[in-house]
């Protein structure tokens, strides 16, 4: 799900900013009491591995995400993950579809027809998302 606020932003938003925004908007709506709310980053193990690649993430933001929010990680086949404040969920039906692979397909101008809903495909086309400048 893409937060409507995030979709309206003209530039990339840091993950920590988005988590804080979602947390505050849910609390402001008073639909869930703050003490009952737990906003967490949901990701695949490939994104989680990128936390340790120098230059990909701002180190302080990784610490804040893990400390203040936590992470739910969908373990891909063959990946072992054990870290503090990270909940690991095994895939019930193993697949190799990930947001990273979908973005790679888009940047190479390959079809993502059966990888994601048609509404997402249309939005990506309208916004010209994930296209390498070399391919434009």
Are residue 39 and residue 76 in the same domain, yes or no? yes
pTM metric for this prediction: 0.62
H or E, element range at 73: strand 71-75
Range of the domain at 25: 6-90
pLDDT at 130 over 70: yes
- Tell me whether residue 1 is in a domain: no
CA–CA distance, 39 with 22 (Å, rounded to integer) = 8
- Whether residue 16 contacts residue 64, with contact meaning beta carbons closer than 8 Å, is answered with yes
Which residues does residue 90 pair with via DSSP β-bridges, in sequence order? 75
What ranges make up the beta strands (E) of 3-128?
41-44, 71-75, 86-90
Q: pLDDT per residue over 53-98, tens digit each?
A: 999 999 999 999 999 999 998 877 666 666 667 777 776 666 677 8
125 domain-assigned: yes
């Amino acid at each position: 799900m893409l937060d409507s606020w995030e979709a309206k932003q003209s530039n990339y938003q840091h993950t920590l900013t988005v988590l804080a925004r979602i947390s505050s908007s849910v609390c402001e709506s008073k639909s869930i009491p703050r003490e009952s709310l737990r906003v967490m980053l949901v990701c695949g193990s490939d994104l989680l591995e990128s936390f340790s690649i120098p230059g990909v993430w701002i180190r302080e933001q990784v610490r804040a995400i893990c400390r203040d929010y936590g992470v739910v990680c969908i373990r891909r086949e063959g990946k072992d993950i054990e870290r503090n404040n990270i909940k690991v969920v095994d895939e019930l039906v193993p697949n190799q579809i990930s947001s990273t692979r979908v973005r790679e397909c888009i940047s190479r101008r390959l079809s993502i027809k059966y990888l994601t809903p048609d509404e997402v495909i249309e939005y990506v086309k309208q916004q010209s998302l994930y296209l390498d400048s070399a391919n434009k």
